[in-house]
Amino acid sequence: TSGERTAKAERMFELMDGFLKNDPLSLQKDILDHVEYTVARSRFSFDDFEAYQALSHCIRDRLIERWHDTQLHFKRKDPKRVYFLSLEYLMGRSLSNSIINLGIRDQCADALSQLGFEFEVVAEQEGDAALGNGGLARLSACQMDSLATMDFPAWGYGLRYQYGLFRQVILDGFQHEQPDYWLNFGNPWEIERVHVTYPVKFYGTVEEEILNGEKYKIWIPGETIEAVAYDNPIPGYGTRNTITLRLWAAKPSNQHDMEAYNTGDYIDAVVNRQRAETISSILYPDDRSHQGKELRLKQQYFFVSASLQDIIRRFKDVHKDFNKFPDKVALQLNDIHPALAIPEVMRVFVDEEHLGWNKAFDLTCKIFSFTTHTVQAEALEKIPVDLLESLLPRHLQIIYDINSYFMEELKKRIGLDYNRLARMSIVEEGAVKSIRVANLSLFCSHTVNGVSKLHSELLQTRVFKDFYELWPEKFQYKTNGVTQRRWIVVSNPNLCALISKWLGTESWIRDIDLLIGLREYATDISLHQEWQMVRRVNKMRLAEYIEATSGLKVSLDAMFDVQIKRIHQYKRQLLNILGIIHRYDCIKNMAKDDRRKVVPRVCIIGGKAAPGYEMAKKMIKLCHAVAEKINNDSDVGDLLKLVFIPDYNVSVAELVIPGADLSQHISTAGHEASGTGSMKFLMNGCLLLATADGSTVEIIEEIGEDNMFLFGAKVHEVPTLREKGSTIKVPLQFARVVRMVRDGYFGFQDYFKSLCDTVEGNSDYYLLGADFGSYLEAQAAADKAFVDQEKWTRMSILSTAGSGRFSSDRTIQDYAEKTWGIEPCRCPL
Ligand code: GL2
């Protein structure tokens, strides 16, 4: 019987101590096998890329083994699972990360070196998986790592875009976008599950049917597309647990549209079918708003429908009674992008499982939680009713039903306050009647999370004030975190070894709170020396990269000052550039002797601008124009350099962050929901120059104001400053540097005019002028501290020591306890 077969296989497995061995010799043999049989190259002659492919397959085999065991264990234990629904994941590279999490870094390096290869070189052959835009997407990847490491029974669901985030190419200082067809060279980290497919329906009509005397709605679709699963095993660190990130790809459905074929319109029918596949082909390259786009809506529903069919199928494999659903399933909406899951669950419960509306709604409200990642009310998606009606007619009806119920409930609470009812309604009347996805999510979720303390306050007092007043118990926050496995262990191995040496343990890699132990040694001179050495080696690596990508040689004695993130007006890269112009202007106007006192800087900026975001693109061009001038000015020499790092992505971040002395997080207060880059720099002992925005407020609580360079208006001051507009007294230096750009000092006078307009008088919405004075003061304080290397090193050690709260392990622990109600389910070794 199959039971006996399983038992036999298990005995064999135990006897063999797992199938695959991890000593260097076994790894070497497996690598050569994969060179020969998977990559189909001769084992006597293969290059770095082929070595990467072979090693990846070797690691993939080991992941699969653990992954099978984990899934079997989950199946046997049947714990409550969390399903993480996200439209974006920025995984970056997988090889090094998997090897570290499997705990076989040294064995792999040995195996490779005996074959004549260098581990780092081989690992660098891998391209990034960039199925996301920015912070939100990288956060999902960090959280998957923590979920696996902490043994939580979790699944990630998303879309397998064929084209990831565009590649940024800079020509003459202008950004150009090139498609990222990341699958060109194969992807060893995924497993295509040709048998795990679900039909996803679109368009069509809704009809009624009578079953056992009861009336039910049935949706007759106009088009059906097949969703195929691609599984990406996600290994935990220090555990056998390996969880699944399941990404869906659209494939033509086997259910043929017989009519089209029969009328002889064969070619058109096939072409239409191919068009259907485009649903999962491309990631939207804007990280904020996608209002009213049909393809975007199709993507959202496609992914939601396939995921829910999969989740409900898994539940029904074991359970018959849907009352148990909330005991077994937590559905986490990563932002409101997957919010169509709410009406979809209702549709399945009511139309397919015939649970009755009240029961269905009660269950729905018990399973959903959502996290919002924005402070901008404008970024909250709205779906035009016309669009929804044509694409998902049944869902529109369900949303209307939910809204009627919601309005009745609201009237019981607030009476006939029509203005407020209109504000809170899920349906927005007006020129374009639309569905407010956030309001739908707020009403139907048991919990809504913000991503930092400040963000949560803003949600409660501004963005979702009406809801907070009525349902305060729904509101929580979970400050974001990043995984120390990726952001220290993988990307900064020297610092990792140093931390373990001084703490006397590697346990901090799983238990981040231990990092605080470094505080004790913050003034220890021998730690200082080792710390400085590690930082210098990392700077060297970064300097080499800069020279290779831009041809610019930079001095290692200079302060490496970095701002890398998406380009946005609210993130104020323009403030940084204007500050650099000011520094340049000062150096130029100094007596030669005084120049000796200047603290040398290498200013590094990197980031992508959304293709349609004109002002962001102008900032990139301005950065290049200013760099051209400064870097070629012999008066300045090594005192100031400006570099734009092209095509910023996860791998570039892994290289830049460990080499940074100072990093800038300078958004106008109240605009950055959290910010996660700052946490990565903090962990790596880089000092922060920042405004009190997003999670920085909590970083201040952890490391103290004295260990960073704070500046700028506080969040409560921003509205008053905006009201004051042009009557604010801005520093003369600010007017001067803007004038320099306006007057064409850096060329492209006409092109930069509109950019200059955004920061003058009443138009200076992001308050660059108002904050410029304190920004320069913070920069001066950073210069002063840098000269005192002992002080700087102490601040740097204290930054790393205080970064424990910003691990995604802590975030996930909070979610598990306070939002999802799940417990670890550890697979035995
Ligand atoms: C973001 C926020 O802007 C950012 O502040 C936050 O750290 C991340 C993760 O919560 O989410 N929202 C968003 O749409 N993107 C973000 O980075 N792209």
| Nearest ligand 1 atom to alpha carbon 480 | 10
Give the pLDDT confidence score for residue 16 in this predicted structure: 61
For residues 108-118, give the mean pLDDT. 98
Question: 801: exposed, middle or buried (C-beta count within 10 Å: 0-12, 13-18, 19+)?
Answer: buried
Indicate the top mutation candidate among 372, 451, 453, 455 to test ligand 1's pocket, ranked by most ligand atoms within 8 A of CB. Answer: 451
- The more confident residue out of 269 and 13 is 269
Kind and range of the H or E run holding 378: none
Distance 393 CA to ligand 1 centre (A): 32
What is the percent of the chain with per-residue pLDDT over 70, rounded to a whole number?
98
**What's the confidence (pLDDT) of residue 13?**
64
Asked if the domains at 78-93+128-169+181-477 and 552-802 fall in one CATH topology, the answer is yes
Indicate the top mutation candidate among 373, 437, 567 to test ligand 1's pocket, ranked by most ligand atoms within 8 A of CB: 373
Please tell me the least confidently modeled range out of 50-54, 232-236, 253-257, 351-355: 253-257
* pLDDT given for residue 5 in this prediction: 77
Residues with a CB atom less than 6 Å from ligand 1? 133-136, 139, 287-288, 373-374, 451, 480, 672-676, 694
Q: Which residue has the higher pLDDT, 378 or 260?
A: 378
The model's confidence at residue 269, banded by pLDDT at 50, 70 and 90, is confident
**Residue of the CA atom closest to atom 13 of ligand 1:** 136
Which atom of ligand 1 approaches the CA of 134 most closely?
18
Query: Using CA atoms, how far apart are residues 200 and 218, in angstroms rounded to an integer?
Result: 15
d(CA 707, CA 16): 53
List residues with catalytic annotation: 373, 565-566, 571, 676, 680
781-815 pLDDT, tens per residue? 999 999 999 999 999 999 999 999 999 999 999 99
Q: What value of ipTM does the predicted structure carry?
A: 0.99
3-state SS, residue 622: helix
Q: Give the confidence band of 273 by pLDDT, cuts at 50, 70, 90.
A: confident
Confidence of residue 377 (pLDDT cuts 50, 70, 90): confident
Average pLDDT over residues 623-647: 98
pLDDT given for residue 270 in this prediction: 80
**What class is the 552-802 domain?**
alpha beta
Residue 679 CA to residue 675 CA, distance in Å, equals: 8
Q: How far is the CA of 480 from the centre of ligand 1 (A)?
A: 10
For the chain, the C-alpha Rg in angstroms (whole number) is 28
In the reported structure, the alpha carbon of residue 691 is separated from the centroid of ligand 1 by a whole-number distance in angstroms of 16
For residue 294 the two structure tokens come to: 């049909």
Q: Comparing C-alpha atoms, which of 804, 791, 781, 779 is closest to residue 703?
A: 804
Check residue 255 and give its pLDDT.
62
- The CA dihedral of 653, 658, 662, 663, to the nearest 10 degrees, is 20
Q: Where are the alpha helices (DSSP H) in 161-283?
A: 258-262, 266-277
Residue-level pLDDT at 17: 58
- DSSP annotation of 16: T
CA of 10 to the centre of ligand 1 (A): 45
Is the pLDDT at 291 greater than 90? The verdict is: no
334 Cα–ligand 1 center, Å = 11
Strand partners, 230: 192, 247
Ligand 1 atom 9: the closest Cα is on which residue? 136
Mutate to test the pocket of ligand 1, among 87, 136, 374, 671 (most ligand atoms within 8 A of CB): 136
Q: Closest by alpha carbon to 233, among 16, 59, 423, 112?
A: 59
CA-closest residue to ligand 1 atom 15: 136
How far is 590 from 37, CA to CA, in rounded Å? 67
pLDDT at position 4? 78
What amino acid is encoded at 275 in this protein?
A: R
Q: Please answer whether residues 245 and 213 qualify as being in contact, where contact means their C-beta atoms are separated by less than 8 angstroms.
A: no
The string of pLDDT tens digits covering residues 504-533 is 999 999 999 999 999 999 999 999 999 999
According to the model, what pLDDT value does residue 7 have?
78
Number of Cβ within a 10 Å radius of residue 409: 12
- For the segment 207-240, what is each residue's pLDDT rounded down to a tens digit? 999 988 999 999 999 999 999 999 999 999 999 9
Confidence category of residue 297, pLDDT binned at 50, 70, 90: very high
Mean pLDDT computed over every residue of the chain: 96
Q: How far apart are CA 298 and CA 487, in angstroms?
A: 34
State the average pLDDT over residues 656-660: 98
Q: Where are the domains of the chain?
A: 78-93+128-169+181-477, 552-802
Distance (Å, rounded) from C-alpha 675 to C-alpha 773? Answer: 24
pLDDT of residue 682: 98
Contact 96, 225 (CB under 8 A): no
Start-to-end C-alpha separation, the chain: 26
Tell me the pLDDT tens digit for each residue of 147-194: 999 999 999 999 999 999 999 999 999 999 999 999 999 999 999 999
Per residue, what are the HEC states of 262-326? HCCCHHHHHHHHHHHHHHHCECCCCCCCCCCCHHHHHHHHHHHHHHHHHHHHHHHHHCCCHHHHH
Q: pLDDT at position 267, please? A: 82
Provide the pLDDT confidence category of residue 18 given band limits of 50, 70 and 90.
low
Q: What is the pLDDT of residue 450?
A: 98
Domain at 78-93+128-169+181-477, CATH homologous superfamily: Glycogen Phosphorylase B; (3.40.50.2000)
The sign of the CA dihedral 265, 266, 268, 274 is positive
Token couple for 684: 């790596």
- pLDDT, one tens digit per residue, over 552-577 is 999 999 999 999 999 999 999 999 99
State pLDDT tens for residues 301-345: 999 999 999 999 999 999 999 999 999 999 999 999 999 999 999
Ligand 1 atom 7: residue of nearest CA: 675
> Averaged over 467-478, what is the pLDDT?
98
Is the predicted pLDDT of residue 102 greater than 80, yes or no?
A: yes
Tokens coding 325: 């659903």
Please report how many Cα atoms fall inside a 13 Å half-sphere around the Cα of residue 24, on the Cβ side. 12
Work out which ligand 1 atom sits closest to the CA atom of 695.
7
Q: How far is the CA of 764 from the centre of ligand 1 (A)?
A: 23
Q: What is the pLDDT of residue 266?
A: 81
Q: How far is CA 759 from the centre of its chain?
A: 29
Distance CA 235, CA 68 (A): 12
